[in-house]
Amino acid sequence: MLLTLDLAPLPPNCQPNRPPANLPAHEIRRNVAGIDRREKLSLIEKIQRRVERIAMAEEALIDDPVYVAVNKDVGESRSTLTWALRHLQFKKLYLLHVHLPISMNPTSSGLEQSEIDAIQVSELTSTYDSLLKYRDICLHEGVIDQDVEIFCDVVGNNVEEGIVNLIYENNIKKLIIGAAADCRYSEGMVNITSRKAKYVSSHAPHCCKIWLVCNGNLIQTREGRFDLEGSSHSSSESLASLHDLDSALIPYEEVVRADPDSESHAPSSSPEDQSARGSAATYYEEQRRRLEIEELKRELEQHDKMNREREEALSSSFGVTQMLYSEEVRRRREAEEELNRARAEIKDMKRVQKELEEQLYIDCPRRLDMVVKERDEAINKTEELLRNLYLEKGESSSHSASSSSQWSVSNEPPPYFICPISKEIMQNPHVAADGYTYEANEFKIWLSHGGEKSPMTNLRLENHNLTPNLALRSAINEWLQQHPYFFDLP
């Protein structure tokens, strides 16, 4: 709270008429005897009022809030805060912290802007949690919860400039800051080693008193100059003005002391005049007090309004950052859940595909065996029917020709015994990716000569894997056993 003390010169009608210094004593006495005592009383009252205002303004300085500059790491500023709590009297304590966000951009970091924002929000949240720990220290020391507030500001340049700007913007009168790291403290220490403390001490306004503390010990104090009107007039200048006003009464006091009988020469005042003067003085005193109380109330309301606006702005900014952080966490959680579902689906699809392939490898040979068996049974049945038919008709010659023709037909291997590449009966049949069966060596030679497409479908092969066709190889071996002279035929 800043009280304004009006030190304007008195109006002409209130200025005492000093007697010239070169007049004789009896002339001075005569002039003094003729001075209206109301003029003297008015001058004395004005001096008393100004003295009271200065006293009230100096008392208001005691009520100024105390700001303690703290770091994010509680261990670094715990001793500074503890010193302030145990050595200073205050009605309001602010935990002052300047947050310097991490400097990142999508180009250099390789991250998305949303990811960078989430990281910065997380850092700010962590900083606010640390400030809450400082608040717990204050409560542990016996400070009332309502008397401690957090004052956090986000800057983009450096911390020391941010602190100085906050001092100017918030008219801070009392500041406690660390003079050096606690580990650098030594007995009898008088020098400041902290770069931030040096900068703040040299650039802060003169009205701000700064205590520089290290490891719970006061190292230096930079006294603030009390400014009543927000101008260049200090308290010493104000007191000097009062001294000038007070000196205006010296000639009169000296003359009165020199001539005690001068009172008899002054015009006497009647009881009615004295009563009127007393009533007027009481009235004016009440009016003065009422005006000063109203002025104090207005300044207090303005101060409370500024505090509420600052708290609302801080709460609003923290709420926005908390909302952004929660939104980013929710999006990440949803993305992770979607990714886990996709991975599970892919895993299930691979498992089903593997089961189908295994089932297919099992079913194909069995089905092939069934087909071969049915074919052989059909051939045998057809041969038997033809033989019976020829015997019944008695056509031996035709039967012989037919038997010879049938013999030649039955000696031909089935077409699925033949390799599509070499056109020869297969010894080691394998199934390729196109579903056709080939001689293993012939298919490998085909691939080694740049064959990327199927010899049968002319489509690109999905892979070069070969699966043994055991059922077909068994059928070929059985057929060769039934026709041992197949390779000897022309």
Distances (CA, A) of 242 to 5, 59, 233, 245, 280: 11, 18, 13, 5, 24
Helices (H), 35-73: 37-62
Give dist(CA 323, CA 318) in Å, integer.
8
Q: Which of 222, 249, 279 is the last residue of a domain?
A: 222
pLDDT above 70 for 235: no
The string of DSSP codes covering 435-466 is: S-EEEHHHHHHHHHTT--B-TTT--B-S----
Neighbouring-strand partners of residue 417:
none
The position carrying tokens 């009392």 is 174
Q: Which of 222, 251, 271 is the last residue of a domain?
A: 222
Residue 131 lies in a domain: yes
Q: What is the pLDDT of residues 9-50, one digit of tens each?
A: 444 444 444 444 444 544 544 454 444 555 656 666 666 666
Give dist(CA 64, CA 161) in Å, integer.
22
Q: Name the percent of the chain in helix, strand, coil, to the closest 5.
A: 60, 10, 30
Structural domain that includes position 470: 415-490
Residue 400 lies in a domain: no
Residue 259 lies in a domain: no
The total number of structural domains that make up the chain: 2
- Per-residue pLDDT, 3: 35
Q: What is the pLDDT of residues 349-370, one digit of tens each?
A: 998 988 888 887 777 777 777 8
144: tokens are 């009332």
- 3-class DSSP assignment, residue 93: strand
Higher-confidence position of 443 and 232 = 443
Distances (CA, A) of 145 to 35, 66, 84, 274, 355: 60, 15, 16, 55, 68
- Per-residue pLDDT, 164: 92
- CATH number, position 467: 3.30.40.10
- Per-residue pLDDT, 95: 93
In sequence order, the 6+-apart residues with CB closer than 8 A to the CB of 367 are: none
14, 46 contact by CB (below 8 A): yes
- CATH number, position 130: 3.40.50.620
Q: Which of 194, 222, 250 is the last residue of a domain?
A: 222
Residue 288 lies in a domain: no
To the nearest whole number, what is the mean pLDDT of the chain? 75
Residue 87 lies in a domain: yes
| Max CA pair span of the chain | 190
Residue 19 lies in a domain: no
Q: What is the pLDDT of residues 249-264, one digit of tens each?
A: 444 444 444 444 444 4
